[in-house]
């Protein structure tokens, strides 16, 4: 069962055998991890150092690799002289691939792959390990460090799988926090009032403004947040230290309370979090996962997508002046972290904040930011002022959109909000009640295909609106979704009805990503080991489970333009004919030399001559970085393999096939004849 992004309904779609497995492999960050040269090198250095230490003691070297993935760390250990290596992997397709990779590199006699979770491993003559290991190497970390169960994994291994005098890689981890003021970042979590006209304000419901939000981590490429968009209110603080060697017990639930001095004045809105790993027992090798500005050499900071940095939204916002003391409280359980600056009446918060308003369940951070976008809201309001009259009957078909409330505030006679999702229904209902427009706005809890004249009180619609945003759509399908809905709803429209947006364009630009291309690029080799078998597995999984165009928030992934922006498709929404299928082909000229590793796609919309884009926020200039909208995802088509292009010599070709159940995009680079 899958959701058709065009018609918005669930459909049965036949998938290949083991599709879920392929999808999980395709979505994994294995390739990204293996492209992380710093990670690979520092694990390798720590392993060689540990094995040399054991050999100097005259001890047999017995290595246990937990979460082996491709077997890379196990092969490092085997090549460095380990006498035995047990590679533990719980995910069957990856464990099978590890066996192939290990055999391809000639280590099948030295490495034993065990398909189990590490807590299920047995020790003894007939066990998975003949005897306990004396070196543990594990890579079981995520953005929050502990979200993959790292604490339990190390605790169990030290107690049951390792000799008392063992070496653990990494040996320890430190978690850092920094209190930040940022109106931009706050706008991704808390809804603000919308000023529609003098004396007319859309106020968020009280249940939303009083909600602390969710403790769920917001992972981002923190280095890409413009530094003029936030102010550090404290220096970085080490809030937790975890020792994985067994010399100290690992606490599954822990609280850290410390008074820190404010270095700037402002509102304590959020906490930035990152961590580092002490790779060896002596602390000579450190793997720092912080943003560029805390790295020893910011210009050489390594990009990684498998470990990002984290934002946590503080439950209570506290205003401070430079020099004030702030009581920062940090918490963690077995899998997650959260932070607070407790008020005097509530100095300790033992439970993770949870969302009770459902906004943080219904809307993503980007969607909340979209609703708070003052520039875009003002564009919508300007557009509505041109079409809304006291006799306007409006139908809003976007998901959870505030356009219906805006239209009511601007004096429309009747507004129908078509909301098929219960959570969106509840959210818009709370907005309608909070802003006293219940007599104007009626919420229709139906699918568009089920709408009747009775639902519309036998009125003809003279303003059809979309934002456009549809929660089940994946960019760039919003264009086709609205096109389909506009046709579906044509019978309810008055002859002179305004359809907004009036036009939509699917646009594209050839790009050279600095780093994002790596998530779909073959690894080939890492630390001298052949990983082509892994590449084959990933490429097969991607071809089966992934769409040709992937959604990504491109503001987090720098790229420069190699072509001008190009119109691929144009839709005139004033026409009511929806085509179930079509095919187009064409060419895009290359305008700048570089490495073309992808094509970025987005949609532009025209609302009464007001242009609203889901893509670049500034005009594209070839050979310069593109500035992307921070509240939208764009589409990315990766070019395999990346191609060095030269203007006048190369051209980008495209072919788009569309039908209501399936679509395909194909881009390629060819030389001009």
Q: What is the pLDDT of residues 329-341, one digit of tens each?
A: 999 999 999 999 9
Residue 343 has pLDDT above 70, yes or no: yes
Q: At what angle do helices 19-27 and 532-545 cross, to 10 degrees?
A: 120
The pLDDT value given to residue 335: 95
How much is the pTM?
0.93
**Res. 475 pLDDT band, cuts 50 70 90:** low
**What integer is the mean pLDDT of 508-528?**
95
Q: Does the bond joining 24 to the residue before it have cis omega, within 30 degrees of 0?
A: no
pLDDT at position 539, please? 83
φ/ψ bin of 604: left (φ > 0), alpha (ψ from -120 to 50), beta (otherwise):
beta
For 157-191, b/e burial (b = at least 16 CB within 10 A) is bbeebbeeebbbbbbbbbbbbbbbbbeebbbbbbb
- What rounded mean pLDDT belongs to the chain? 91
Give ∠ CA 475-481-486 in degrees, rounded to 5.
145
Is pLDDT of 347 > 60? no
Q: From the candidates 89, 139, 144, 467, which is the catalytic residue? A: 139
In this structure, of 40-54, 250-264, 505-519, 563-577, the range with the lowest mean pLDDT score is: 563-577
For the chain, give the percent of residues with pLDDT over 90: 77
Describe the chain by its helix, strand, coil percentages, rounded to 5. 25, 35, 40
Q: What does the alpha-carbon distance between residue 176 and residue 272 come to, in Å, rounded to a whole number?
A: 8
Sign of CA dihedral 309, 314, 317, 320: negative
Average pLDDT of the segment spanning 28-56: 91
Give the mean model confidence (pLDDT) for residues 499-511.
95
pLDDT digits (tens, 9 = 90+) for 408-417: 999 999 999 9
* pLDDT for 623 beyond 80: yes
Residue 579's pLDDT is what? 77
Q: What is the pLDDT of residue 673?
A: 63
Is 113 in contact with 95 (CB distance < 8 Å)?
A: yes
Backbone phi and psi for residue 672, each to the nearest 5 degrees, phi listed first: -70, 140
Active site residue 536: no
Q: Summarize the confidence of residues 545-559 as an average pLDDT.
A: 90
Residue of 148, 251, 334, 413 with catalytic role: 148
With cut-offs at 50, 70 and 90, classify the pLDDT of residue 664. Answer: confident
Reported as a pLDDT band with limits 50, 70 and 90, residue 388 is very high
433 is an active site residue: no
Which residues on neighbouring strands pair with residue 605, listed in sequence order? 504, 612
């Amino acid at each position: 069962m899958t959701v058709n992004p065009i018609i918005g309904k669930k459909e049965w779609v036949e998938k290949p055998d083991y599709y879920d497995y392929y999808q999980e492999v395709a979505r994994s960050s294995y390739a990204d991890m293996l492209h992380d040269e710093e990670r690979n090198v520092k694990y390798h250095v720590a392993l060689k150092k540990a094995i040399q230490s054991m050999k100097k003691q005259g001890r047999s070297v017995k290595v246990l690799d937990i979460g082996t993935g491709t077997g890379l760390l196990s092969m490092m250990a085997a090549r460095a002289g380990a006498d035995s290596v047990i590679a533990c992997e719980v995910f069957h397709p990856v464990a099978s691939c590890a066996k192939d990779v290990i055999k391809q590199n000639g280590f099948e006699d030295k490495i034993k792959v065990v398909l189990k979770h590490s807590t299920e491993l047995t020790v003894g003559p007939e066990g998975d390990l003949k005897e306990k290991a004396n070196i543990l190497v594990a890579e079981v970390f995520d953005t929050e460090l502990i979200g993959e169960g790292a604490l339990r994994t190390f605790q169990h291994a030290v107690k049951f799988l390792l000799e008392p005098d063992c070496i653990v890689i990494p040996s320890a981890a430190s978690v850092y926090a920094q209190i930040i003021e940022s109106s931009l970042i706050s706008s991704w979590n808390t809804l603000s009032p919308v000023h529609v006209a003098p004396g007319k304000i859309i106020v968020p419901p009280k249940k939303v403004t009083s909600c602390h939000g969710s403790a769920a981590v917001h992972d981002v490429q923190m280095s890409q947040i413009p530094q003029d968009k936030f102010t550090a209110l404290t220096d970085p603080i080490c809030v937790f230290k975890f020792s994985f060697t067994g010399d100290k017990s690992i606490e599954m639930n822990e609280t850290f309370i410390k008074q820190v001095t404010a270095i700037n004045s402002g509102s304590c809105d959020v906490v930035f979090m990152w961590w580092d790993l002490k790779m060896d027992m002596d602390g000579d090798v450190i793997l720092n996962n912080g943003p560029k500005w805390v790295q020893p050499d910011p210009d050489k900071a390594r990009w990684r997508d498998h470990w990002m940095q984290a934002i946590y939204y503080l439950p209570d916002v506290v205003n401070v002046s430079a020099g004030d003391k702030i009581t920062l409280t940090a918490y963690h359980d077995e899998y997650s972290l959260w932070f607070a600056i407790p008020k005097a009446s509530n100095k300790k918060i033992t439970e993770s904040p949870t969302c009770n308003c459902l906004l943080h369940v219904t809307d993503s951070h980007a969607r909340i930011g979209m609703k708070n976008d003052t520039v875009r809201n003002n564009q919508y309001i300007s557009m509505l002022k041109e079409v809304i009259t006291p006799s306007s009957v409006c139908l809003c078909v976007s998901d959870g959109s505030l356009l219906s409330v805006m239209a009511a505030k601007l004096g429309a006679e009747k507004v129908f909000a078509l909301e098929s999702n219960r959570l969106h229904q509840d959210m818009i209902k709370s907005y309608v009640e909070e802003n006293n427009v219940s007599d104007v706005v009626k919420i229709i809890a139906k699918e568009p295909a089920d709408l009747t004249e009775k639902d519309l009180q036998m009125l003809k619609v003279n303003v059809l609106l979309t934002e456009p945003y549809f929660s089940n759509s994946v960019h760039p399908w919003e264009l086709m979704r609205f096109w389909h809905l506009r046709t579906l709803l044509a019978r309810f429209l008055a002859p002179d009805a305004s359809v907004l947006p009036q036009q939509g364009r699917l646009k594209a630009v050839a790009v050279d990503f600095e780093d994002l291309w790596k998530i779909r690029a073959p690894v080939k080799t890492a630390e001298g080991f052949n990983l082509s078998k892994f590449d084959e597995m990933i490429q097969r999984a991607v071809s089966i489970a992934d769409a040709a165009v992937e959604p990504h928030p491109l503001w987090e992934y720098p790229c420069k333009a190699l072509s001008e922006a190009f119109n691929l498709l144009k839709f005139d929404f004033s026409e009511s004919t929806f085509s179930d299928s079509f095919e187009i082909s064409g060419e895009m000229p290359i305008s700048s030399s570089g490495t073309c590793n992808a094509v970025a796609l987005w949609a532009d919309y025209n609302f009464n001559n007001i242009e609203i884009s889901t893509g670049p926020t500034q005009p594209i200039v070839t050979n310069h970085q593109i500035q992307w909208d921070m509240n939208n995802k764009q589409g990315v088509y990766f070019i395999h393999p990346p191609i060095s292009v030269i203007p006048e010599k190369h051209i980008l070709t495209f072919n788009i096939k569309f039908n209501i159940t399936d679509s395909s995009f194909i881009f390629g680079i060819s030389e001009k004849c």
